[in-house]
């Protein structure tokens, strides 16, 4: 069985970017663009607000065009996906880095 992979940028808690030649070719983005940035963490009442604040701190007003939230089946984890208009790769990387640095965010996609 084969799965297609699209990974413009991935961070782990080690702080190192994980890419390879194939990811780079598949992950080429043309800016400005609108992409979904997902953050996952432990269930907390203010998790959605924290994620939106991080994204908003790196974008202009109105750049977040949609927010989707989902709780895990067990109810222990929460994911928040922000569809956001980005102007540059540097802006996207700054958002991912801020999420990586936040102690409540366990993983980003």
Write the pLDDT tens digit of every residue in 53-62.
Answer: 999 999 999 9
* pLDDT mean over 78-86: 97
- The answer to whether the predicted template modeling score (pTM) of the entire model surpasses 0.95 is no
pLDDT bin (cut points 50, 70, 90) of residue 106 is very high
Pairwise CA distance, residues 92 & 3, whole Å: 25
The vertex-77 CA angle with 2 and 13, nearest 5°, equals 70
At 61 the pLDDT is: 93
Pairwise CA distance, residues 19 & 33, whole Å: 21
Pairwise CA distance, residues 57 & 61, whole Å: 9
Rounded mean pLDDT of the chain?
83
pLDDT bin (cut points 50, 70, 90) of residue 27 is low
Residues 6+ apart with CB under 8 A from 47: 41, 78, 80, 104
* Contact status, residue 15 vs residue 67, Cβ threshold 8 Å: no
- Dihedrals φ, ψ of 69, to 5°? -120, 145
Pairwise CA distance, residues 79 & 71, whole Å: 6
pLDDT at residue 30 is higher than 50: yes
Question: Which CATH class name applies to 31-108?
Answer: alpha beta
Burial 62-100 (b: 16+ CB within 10 A, else e): ebbeeeeeeeeeeeebbbbbbebbbeeeebbbbbbbbbb
């Amino acid at each position: 069985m084969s799965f297609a992979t699209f990974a413009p940028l991935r961070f782990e808690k080690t702080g190192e970017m994980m890419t390879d030649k194939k990811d780079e070719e598949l992950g080429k983005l043309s800016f400005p663009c609108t992409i979904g940035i997902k953050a996952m963490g432990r269930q907390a009442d203010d998790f959605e607000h924290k994620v939106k604040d991080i994204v908003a701190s790196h974008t202009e007003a109105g750049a977040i065009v949609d927010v989707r939230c989902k709780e895990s089946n067990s109810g222990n984890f929460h994911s928040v996906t922000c569809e956001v208009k980005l102007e540059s790769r540097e802006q996207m990387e700054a958002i991912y880095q801020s999420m990586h640095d936040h102690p409540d965010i366990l993983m980003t996609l």
